[in-house]
Structure 1
């Protein structure tokens, strides 16, 4: 079952909070089906930008599939520049930023 983007983002941020990972919505997109992009700031000047995987959006367990669109040594500014260009074509996308020094805030890169 697909969750609305707003519900998924809310649940993801709550899970991050429980795990001691700070996160915030940088930009709200379409409530029902806006694409979600997650910037994982590693707090050392580098980040990952995770976006929806091409093809099937969900795996067989119903979890969202992610690809790394930007990976270290890229900076959060590089990730935002890419997302600014995307916003010209898709104004419905969500941008969420989390701070995780050690990992990907519980998300798994699938492709």
Structure 2
């Protein structure tokens, strides 16, 4: 059983706070099943934008899988225009920003093929 998007986002933020990271919801989407995108701010002017992978989005242990969006968004200035494009296609998306110098925010990131 999958968690509702809203519950999963709040759990991610709580986990990040416990680990000493800061995070915030940049855009609220559909509570039930909106796609979730995560902006990881490395605090050096670069970011990493993760979204759901094509195909299965959960691994064997029940963890959500993530893939870097293509083309990669690497600058904080490029995030909002990319999000604007996504919301024109799917207005139900969630966007969460996490500040993490490692660039992973504790998420399972699958390599791009």
Partner of 2:86: 86
Deviation of the 1:3 alpha carbon: 0.5
Aligned runs of 1:44-63 on 2, under 5 Å?
A: 44-63=44-63
Give the equivalent residue in structure 1 for 2:99: 99
Q: What is the RMSD of the two structures over their aligned residues, measured on CA atoms?
A: 1.1
> With structure 2 as the length reference, what TM-score do the two structures score?
0.91
1:110 alignment counterpart: 110
Instruction: Answer yes or no: is the 8 Å Cα contact 2:16–2:23 preserved in 1.
Output: yes
For structure 1, the residue ranges without an aligned partner over 5 or more in a row are none
Matches within 5 A, 1:1-111: 1-69=1-69, 70=72, 74-111=74-111
Structure 1 stretches of 4+ with a deviation exceeding 6 A read: none
Cα distance in 1 for residues equivalent to 2:80 and 2:63: 25
Q: Where does the alignment leave 5 or more consecutive residues of structure 2 unmatched? A: none
- Offset, 1:26: 0.4
Q: How many residues align?
A: 109
Displacement of 1:25: 0.3
TM-score w.r.t. length of structure 1: 0.93
Deviations 1:31-90 (A, max 9, x none): 01000000000011101000001101211111111001135xx21221222111010010
